[in-house]
Amino acid sequence: MLLRVHLSDADPYEIGKGVGRVPLAFAIEQEADCIAADAGADLLDDPGEQARADLRRRVIREMTAALTRAGDSYWAPDGVRYSLVESL
């Protein structure tokens, strides 16, 4: 299974066990880190680290709930779409 990040230059994460694959939770955490690190005033009332940490936790919680099987998708607060697919 793949976690697709719907950006033109983003590679998908190969989800599962085995060489070159990562757990879904790891991929979600990585993307939440990117979203929180890149967030601007449109997503954060306060640019401080606590607000970024809160955003990161929120994204992890929402993505984990939304992405459970192939066909599921999630729109991040920054407008990027994520989806789980069997293959490209």
pLDDT tens digit sequence for 16-67:
988 889 999 999 999 999 999 988 888 888 888 999 999 999 999 999 999 9
State the Cα–Cα distance between residues 61 and 67, nearest whole angstrom.
10
**Helix (H/G/I), strand (E/B), else coil: 73:** strand
Predicted pLDDT at 88: 60
Contact indicator for 88, 82 with CB cutoff of 8 Å: no
The H or E element spanning position 49 is helix 49-66
Residue 10 structure tokens:
């983003």
CA distance 46 to 82: 26
What does the alpha-carbon distance between residue 48 and residue 4 come to, in Å, rounded to a whole number? Answer: 29
